[in-house]
Amino acid sequence: MSLRIGDDAPNFKANTSLGEIDFYEYLGDSWGVLFSHPADYTPVCTTELGKTASLKDEFEKRNVKVVALSTDNVESHKGWINDINETQGVEVTFPIIGDESREISQAYDMIHPNASLTATVRSLFIIGPDKKIKLIISYPASTGRNFQEILRVIDSLQLTAYHSVATPADWKDGEQVVVLPSIKTEDIPAKFPKGFVEVKPYLRLTPQPNK
């Protein structure tokens, strides 16, 4: 059965390039990004892991811990990390899971038989501090992820988790947001003192409340 947004993220213990981890313990009170790769020593994945490493400060300031996964073994990961560091000009400091048994890949539905019977697709899960899945994105093996979009989504998820707002199309951190329909228009001034614009009774815009 495939996972859906709002489901509990399956916990697991795994060997990684940084030693054994318990996933829930590793995340602690942080947000998490778990993402998979079809195989080690593949070109698109090399650029993706390099990009992730280069964004270390961006993830840290958002209180996000990153974990990668491939069905190759940990020793293979360690050799690949040397290549990533060399070719991408970075230092990979986050763990890469060795999932040779494919137990974790199966639990997270990362193997799509119509794409490959053995390799994980390029799946990504954003997991909240409550250990529930907040976002699922799956790319084909041939297409690298857009990491600016991943950071944008994390910004949106964190904003909407703590304020009664949603984010409109193409929203970026600092731009105006949408007041949730559950809030009555007469209650908006008290909750959002920066003001609001009523485009339609169901579409009310207000400045980002935490800026």
Q: Please, which residues have CB within 8 angstroms of residue 70's CB and are 6 or more apart in sequence? A: 36, 37, 38, 39, 40, 45, 76, 77, 96, 97, 98, 99, 120
pLDDT of residue 39: 85
State the pLDDT at residue 62.
Answer: 98
For residues 17 and 95, the answer to whether their CB atoms sit within 8 Å is yes
Spatial contact of 70 and 97, defined as CB atoms under 8 Å apart: yes
Residue with tokens 């009170």: 29
Domain 13-145 shares a fold with domain 163-206? no
At which residue do the structure tokens 């690949």 appear? 80
Q: Which of 2, 90, 12, 9 is nearest to 49 (CA)?
A: 90
Name residues of the chain where pLDDT drops below 50: none
The one-letter amino acid at 13? K
**Residue 142 contacts residue 44 (beta carbons within 8 Å):** yes
pLDDT for 122: 78
In this predicted structure, what is the pLDDT of residue 50? 98
Predicted pLDDT of residue 112: 64
The amino acid at residue 48 is E
The hierarchical CATH code for the domain 163-206 is 3.30.1020.10
Angle between helices 147-162 and 43-54 (to 10 degrees): 50
Give the CB-side neighbour count of residue 97, counting CA atoms within 13 A. Answer: 27
Q: Which two tokens mark 10?
A: 């399956």
Backbone angles phi, psi at 56, to 5 degrees: -50, -50
Sequence-distant (≥ 6) Cβ neighbours of residue 95 within 8 angstroms: 16, 17, 18, 19, 21, 26, 67, 68
CATH among 3.40.50.920, 3.40.30.10, 3.40.50.720, 3.30.1360.120 for 13-145: 3.40.30.10
pLDDT at residue number 113: 64
pLDDT tens sequence across 190-204:
999 999 999 999 999
Which sequence positions are flagged as catalytic? 45
Question: How is the chain split into domains, by residue range?
Answer: 13-145, 163-206
Query: pTM value?
Result: 0.92
